[in-house]
Copies of this chain bind each other. A is one copy, B any other.
Amino acid sequence: MADSPNRTAADPNEEIMRATYRALQEHGYADLTIKRIAEEYGKSTAAIHYHYDTKDDLLAAFLDYILDQFQNTVHEVETTDPEQRLDLLLDKLLVDAQDHLDLLVAMLEMRSQAPYKEAFRERFQQNDEYVRYMLSTVIDQGIQDGVFNDVDAEHAARALMTIVDGGRTRAVVFNEEASLATARQTAEEYVTAVLAVDQSGDG
């Protein structure tokens, strides 16, 4: 109703977000300029400035755009069984990331600017809280179901996010997907050795 589903959706904002994404893939954040976004957009730099007053405004909007997409994919995980759900969430966070390595690079660049750009920090913080809430909720569920030990779910969620962020950082710095696989395995070990109740007596 509101938006007509034309082919290639002529909404300028959406187009600029897509152009920013492509420019980011090709040049990285450090070399991202309005001009390069404009080239991807196929219009002049002033056209960009017509829609976004400053570069920072555009980048803040881009973070909203991209983190919203990410949260939607995380939201898709619908299994209710705690152990399986936690596994699927960790897959989303670490395995799926392998298909967007260039985005992972750009995101680490932007994350490293969080100390200087409050708009960035706020958005990354909000996103982190969302994911942590998903994790601690499923961990709490596992505790109630008796499949997880009675640990501090908040801490366990932070621990898993630390492993996730470590794997992502290392994948970018060392340019190797294997870092994501290592992190995935480490997360699994944490779940098995710290969270899961010991059933060795049931043999």
A84 to chain B, nearest CB (A): 21
Q: Which residues of B contact A115 (CB under 8 A)?
A: 28, 105, 172, 175
Could you tell me how many residues of chain A have their Cβ less than 8 Å away from some Cβ of chain B? 43
Q: How far is the CB of A138 from chain B (nearest CB, A)?
A: 18
Nearest-neighbor residue (CB-CB) of A184 within chain B:
B162
Q: Is A22 an interface residue (CB 8 A)?
A: no
Oligomeric state, in number of copies?
Answer: 2
A59 within 8 A of B: no
A133: Cβ under 8 A from any B Cβ: no
CB–CB A166/B175 < 8 A: no
Question: Is A165 part of the contact surface with B, judged by Cβ < 8 Å?
Answer: yes
A159 at the interface (CB under 8 A from B): yes
B169 pairs with A111, CB closer than 8 A: yes
Q: Among the listed stretches A50-58, A140-148, A188-196, which one makes contact with chain B, having 4 or more residues with CB under 8 Å of it?
A: A188-196
Select one of B155, B158, B159, B173 contacting A114, CB under 8 A: B173
Residue contact B30 to A30, C-beta cutoff 8 Å:
yes
Given A159-B189, A189-B194, are A124 and B169 also a contact pair (CB < 8 Å)?
no
- CB-CB contacts below 8 Å: A153-169 with B: 155, 158-159, 161-169
* A and B contact pairs by CB, cutoff 8 A, 26 listed: A31-B116, A105-B112, A105-B115, A108-B108, A109-B112, A111-B112, A114-B173, A121-B174, A124-B174, A155-B185, A159-B182, A159-B185, A159-B186, A161-B170, A162-B166, A162-B170, A162-B182, A162-B183, A163-B163, A163-B166, A164-B166, A165-B169, A186-B190, A189-B194, A190-B194, A193-B194
